[in-house]
Amino acid sequence: MEEKKDNYDRRIDNEQLINTIALFEGLSEQSLDLISAHAVTRAHPANRVILLENDWGGSVYFILEGWVKIRTYNVDGKEVTLNIVGKGEVVGEMAALEEAPRSTDVITLTKTVISSIPAQDFVKLLMAEPLAGIRLSQLMAKRLRQLNRRLRLREADSLSRVADTLIFLAEGQGKKAEQGIEIPNLPHRELSSISGLARETVTRSLTKLEKKGLIQRTADTVCIPDLKSLERVIT
């Protein structure tokens, strides 16, 4: 009886994996079977380390629920958040493709459900499915464009940098709401790490943006009523 339950749960987990990750949309049944064959799905609490920098990459990870941050450290030992990604995203793919150690840490920000497949299965999938390879290339190109824009704004004023951080999050994981786009109301220390600003500066900038009507905050979310209006803040 317990074995039947485990098999049922595994089938549900695999269906969620296939249906959640855009990378897998429209692939052949054979390729979907390859993805499901060794997939493992686990739930994690907030602040759980999923990947560590310099570890060898034996698996590729797919986020089914929740949010994770991708971080590294600068030469002074200060934490730098490179990206925050959520449902539908893939992490750990670079180490699998390069057959090299991890280049960053991945830490959960919220309760998170993550599926993983062996790196060799992921590489086999890309070799068999050109569409999956194209989608992965598009994802990596999008991340690179976002990073380049953030680097260009490093010398901009603090309001511009905080506005750009919110736009960056909205483009990556924003959800359409009745009055604009919603993103999670992340702790100010996370926004500080992304923008490269002091936490107090981030707090003041968010207050200014809220007073201007460019964002609306609740305990859980930040709503951006008009993305283009927020973009005009960037100088």
- Assess whether 206 and 137 both reside in one domain: no
pLDDT one-digit tens code per residue, 6-29: 444 667 788 899 999 999 999 999
Under the banding of pLDDT at 50, 70 and 90, the label for residue 234 is: confident
Per-residue confidence (pLDDT) for residue 3, from 0 to 100: 40
- Assess whether 63 and 171 both reside in one domain: no
State the chain's mean pLDDT as an integer: 87
The mean per-residue pLDDT over the stretch 28-41 comes to 92
- Assess whether 100 and 122 both reside in one domain: yes
- Assess whether 146 and 218 both reside in one domain: no
- Assess whether 91 and 176 both reside in one domain: no
- Assess whether 86 and 46 both reside in one domain: yes
Provide the CATH number for the domain around residue 227.
1.10.10.10
Rounded percentage of the chain residues whose pLDDT exceeds 90:
49
Q: Is residue 30 part of a domain?
A: yes
pLDDT one-digit tens code per residue, 96-144: 888 888 889 999 988 999 999 999 999 999 999 999 999 999 988 988 8
- Assess whether 162 and 52 both reside in one domain: no
Euclidean distance between CA atoms 214 and 230, whole angstroms: 6
Per-residue confidence (pLDDT) for residue 184, from 0 to 100: 84
Q: Is residue 123 part of a domain?
A: yes
Checking if the pLDDT of 145 tops 90, the result is no
Q: Is residue 1 part of a domain?
A: no
- Assess whether 38 and 142 both reside in one domain: yes
- Assess whether 30 and 141 both reside in one domain: yes
Q: What 8-state DSSP symbol labels residue 153?
A: G
- Assess whether 105 and 53 both reside in one domain: yes
DSSP letters, 4-29, are HHHHHHHHHHHHHHHHH-GGGTT--H
- Note down the domain range covering 98: 9-151
Per-residue confidence (pLDDT) for residue 154, from 0 to 100: 75
- Assess whether 120 and 55 both reside in one domain: yes
The mean per-residue pLDDT over the stretch 20-41 comes to 92
Last-in-domain residue among 151, 176, 198: 151
Checking if the pLDDT of 150 tops 80, the result is no
Euclidean distance between CA atoms 152 and 164, whole angstroms: 11
Could you give the number of structural domains in the chain? 2
Checking if the pLDDT of 151 tops 80, the result is no
Per-residue confidence (pLDDT) for residue 109, from 0 to 100: 87
Q: Is the pTM of this model over 0.75?
A: yes
Q: Is residue 174 part of a domain?
A: yes
Euclidean distance between CA atoms 41 and 9, whole angstroms: 10
For residue 92, which phi and psi values (nearest 5 degrees)? 85, 10
Provide the CATH number for the domain around residue 43.
2.60.120.10
- Assess whether 138 and 167 both reside in one domain: no
Q: Is residue 101 part of a domain?
A: yes
Last-in-domain residue among 105, 132, 151: 151
CA of 67: how far to CAs of 91, 100, 173, in Å? 12, 25, 9
Checking if the pLDDT of 217 tops 60, the result is yes
Q: Is residue 3 part of a domain?
A: no
